Structure 1
Amino acid sequence: MTMDVSKSETSKNGSTQQECHGCRKTIKERYLLKALDAYWHEDCLKCNCCDCRLGEVGSTLYTKANLILCRRDYLRLFGNTGHCSACNKPIPAFEMVMRAKTNVYHLECFACQQCYHRWLRMP
């Protein structure tokens, strides 16, 4: 399940302070995050795998199996892995690919079928 993360300023007069869902302390900082129908300190809303601050890596988080995840870790753990149409090896869900009609290729496998010229050169 994907969820949006919204960042907003706390009330200037402090009349509507919120409790952080992560640490259960009052949010006194200038900014707070709202995600999963709860309020969070910017430091408390983190990916359960890589510990990155989700408010910094985008406006979307992923939840599954009671985990809060960034996009990369969600795809790494739960994304569908396909197979390259050229080499038939697995393509991890987070890897960039080339598509041609219904075929999917690793970037390094995408080449002309007549002359085998590679369209993209990998460094």
Structure 2
Amino acid sequence: MTMDVSKTETTKPAPGQAPQECAGCCKPITERYLLKALDMFWHEDCLKCGCCDCRLGEVGSTLYTKANLILCKRDYLRLFGNTGYCAACSKVIPAFEMVMRARSNVYHLECFACQQCNHR
């Protein structure tokens, strides 16, 4: 699954309110900038690829998640990047595209439909 990473300037919390907590280290984010990914907030140093340890905010605006891993595009494709073919249309399914699986078959989301009525 791909997710967007957005970098925003930290806003001062309202009086009595704690600053945002980092999803990686669980410490308050007091730096000028923070990252938002996976509906959570991160220090720039804490949002890293689970394989190569690169800082995801520096390598692009997209991260990939699979099997409880947070990955950069390069490592995602290296680990899970076998390109397949759709069982319905026989066209290539890129490794980073979301798919539907039924038994041993893999489908584009738009190709996954009932064989009786063609309803998705």
Q: Please tell me the TM-score bracket, short chain as reference.
A: 0.5 to 0.7
Poorly superposed stretches of 4+, deviation over 6 Å: none
Residue matched to 1:49: 51
SS of corresponding position for 1:46: coil
| Unmatched segments (≥5 aa) in structure 2 | 85-94, 96-120
Root mean square deviation of aligned Cα? 1.6
Residue 8 in 1 paired to residue 8 in 2? yes
| Deviation, structure 1 residue 79 | 0.6
- With normalisation by structure 1, the TM-score equals 0.63
Residue matched to 1:68: 70
| Deviation, structure 1 residue 5 | 0.1
After TM superposition, the structure 1 = structure 2 runs for residues 1-123 of structure 1, keeping only pairs within 5 Å, are 1-11=1-11, 13-15=12-14, 17-80=19-82
Q: Which one has the largest radius of gyration? A: 1
Higher relative contact order (CA 8 A, sep 6+): 2
Amino acid in the other structure paired with 1:25: K
Q: Give the share of equivalent positions with the same residue, in percent.
A: 82
SS of corresponding position for 2:76: helix
| Cα deviation 1:69-106 (Å, max 9, x = unaligned) | 00000000001158xxxxxxxxxx7xxxxxxxxxxxxx
